[in-house]
Amino acid sequence: MNQVPTYMQNLKKESVVQSVINRLTDAITSGELKPGDQVPPEIELAEALGVARSSLREAIKILSYLGVLESKRSEGTFVCSGFSESMIDPMVYGILLNQDSFEKLMELREMTEAGMMRLAIDHHDAEELQELEDLLEEMERAVASEDDPVGIFFAADERFHDKIAEMGKNPMADKINRVVRSLTYDVRFKTVMIMVTEGRAEELIETHRQLMEAIRDKDTHDLSNKVRFSYYEEEVYHKLDNASDR
């Protein structure tokens, strides 16, 4: 007689839907279910777990939303074979709900960007370095532009950091980094606006140049500080905060 897999043994307590989710994710973590494996048919799995089919459907629906499972019409439900964009969404919501201070968000940004720098240092090539140099030149041209210098500068700044993330050759780290950058979008744009309009764009360009040179020279020393000095969000945040109190 074949032994019943652990994840198909009868459930007794807890929230039923959460228990099903836990059982299936534990099975994936332990290797009982592997990427690409088909989950047993709904009737069989519900009976084995001792749960209603409606509870099982809800658990599978949630895991599908999270990018863990995928349902294929007329074929069944399968464990996803790779990283899904939808896995990021719950992370964004969780960060937004627990975001209790600007300083902690900046700490998170510093940590992720320093990590992306380390990956870029290890995996970049000469062509990618030239792209960073081209973007620095684009920032320089933006300062002298009479047609939306802030918008042009900010777009080049965005591509500069996106390129560093791409240079790391790690799609999962890249996506997480993009989440953090999306959470700081507003203050980053306001920072560029203030620095450009106050005639301090060269400061931003120089700190970005230092990041490029660190990658080129494979210099991992004090990356957190190099990253922190490449943006002025804290200064701008407090300036805007003080202005709103008046």
The domain limits of the chain are 6-82, 87-244
Q: What would the pLDDT profile of 171-193 be if each residue is shown by its tens digit?
A: 888 888 887 888 788 888 888 99
pLDDT score of 241: 58
What is the rounded distance in angstroms from the CA atom of residue 225 to the CA atom of residue 236?
Answer: 18
> Of the ranges 84-88, 168-172, 182-186, which one carries the lowest mean pLDDT score?
84-88
CATH number of the structural domain 6-82: 1.10.10.10
The answer, yes or no, to whether residue 230 has pLDDT greater than 90, is: no
Position 228 confidence tier, pLDDT thresholds 50, 70, 90: confident
Q: Quote the strand ranges of the chain, DSSP E.
A: 69-72, 76-79
Residue 9 and residue 48 in contact, taking contact as beta carbons nearer than 8 Å: yes
- The more confidently predicted of residues 21 and 245 is 21
Position 36 confidence tier, pLDDT thresholds 50, 70, 90: very high
- The more confidently predicted of residues 182 and 93 is 182
What is the rounded distance in angstroms from the CA atom of residue 181 to the CA atom of residue 183?
Answer: 5
Helix 149-167 × helix 201-216 angle, to 10°: 20
CA within 13 Å, CB half, 77: 21
Residue 79 and residue 36 in contact, taking contact as beta carbons nearer than 8 Å: yes
What is the rounded distance in angstroms from the CA atom of residue 113 to the CA atom of residue 228?
Answer: 9
pLDDT score of 103: 79
Summarize the chain as % helix, strand, coil (round to 5): 70, 5, 25
Average pLDDT over the chain, rounded to an integer: 84
Distance of CA 160 to the CA centre of its chain: 16
Residue 106 and residue 234 in contact, taking contact as beta carbons nearer than 8 Å: yes
Q: What would the pLDDT profile of 125-141 be if each residue is shown by its tens digit?
A: 999 999 999 999 999 99
> Of the ranges 12-21, 93-102, 128-137, which one carries the lowest mean pLDDT score?
93-102
pLDDT score of 13: 45
> Of the ranges 41-45, 95-99, 107-111, 179-183, which one carries the lowest mean pLDDT score?
95-99
CATH of 87-244, one of 3.50.50.60, 1.20.120.530, 3.30.565.10, 3.40.50.1980: 1.20.120.530
The answer, yes or no, to whether residue 156 has pLDDT greater than 80, is: yes
What is the rounded distance in angstroms from the CA atom of residue 21 to the CA atom of residue 1?
Answer: 27
Helix 171-183 × helix 102-123 angle, to 10°: 150
Beta bridge partners of 69: 79
